[in-house]
Amino acid sequence: MAMNVGAGDGDEDEVLSTINTTPLVDVMLVLLIIFLITVPVVTQNAAVSLPKETNLARQTKPENIEISVTKEGDVFWNAVPVADNEALVARLKKVAVMVPQPEVHIRGDEKSRYESVGRVVFACQRAGIQKVSFVTEPPPRG
């Protein structure tokens, strides 16, 4: 271990103006090693088969039911307002017994809450509707 002792002539010592970067490099190497060790642990997932995206053109049939949900949470059955969730379930139960069962197309406003659309999906489930679709607008091309 060395020690720098100044000259004995009484003059002020010169100021050391260089930065010692060795501690900085040491810290960065330690952080790099920690990062390299933790990344594989974080990215491990269970092996699942994810569904593939399909975008089918909608075939409009007269018997299909269009349910719209506004951004305020109001529900419309083919442009006619529905009073509450129980009234929606009652109407869906009437059409659920038809053969063939009509499809339900849900049109949710992009600003609507997920809860409002979820209530409509739950009402379809309670009524026994077999096919529920979400109507979306495709992204612009270009």
What integer pLDDT is reported at residue 68 of this predicted model?
A: 93
Q: What is the pTM of this model?
A: 0.59
Burial class (CB in 10 A: 0-12, 13-18, 19+), 104: buried
What integer pLDDT is reported at residue 20 of this predicted model?
A: 83
Q: Determine, yes or no, domain membership for 24.
A: no
What integer pLDDT is reported at residue 137 of this predicted model?
A: 78
Residue 90 three-state SS: helix
The residue ranges of the chain whose pLDDT is under 70 are 1-13, 41-60, 139-142
Q: Determine, yes or no, domain membership for 10.
A: no
- Domain total of the chain: 1
Exposure letters 8-27 (e unless 16+ CB within 10 A, then b): eeeeeeeeeeeeeeeeeeee
Q: Per DSSP, which regions of the chain are E strands?
A: 65-69, 75-77, 80-81, 104-108, 132-134
Please report, for the domain that includes residue 99, its CATH number.
3.30.420.270
Q: Determine, yes or no, domain membership for 50.
A: no
Strand partners, 105: 66, 133
d(CA 135, CA 107): 5
Q: According to DSSP H, which parts of 43-131 are helical? A: 85-96, 114-127
**Dihedral sign (CA 55, 60, 65, 69):** positive
Q: What are phi and psi of 10, to 5 degrees?
A: 90, -5
What integer pLDDT is reported at residue 40 of this predicted model?
A: 72
Q: Determine, yes or no, domain membership for 86.
A: yes
Range of the domain at 100: 65-134
- Beta carbons within 8 Å of 38's beta carbon, 6+ residues apart: none
Q: Determine, yes or no, domain membership for 71.
A: yes
Query: Do 132 and 120 form a contact (C-beta atoms < 8 A)?
Result: no
Q: Determine, yes or no, domain membership for 142.
A: no
Q: Determine, yes or no, domain membership for 123.
A: yes
Q: Determine, yes or no, domain membership for 119.
A: yes
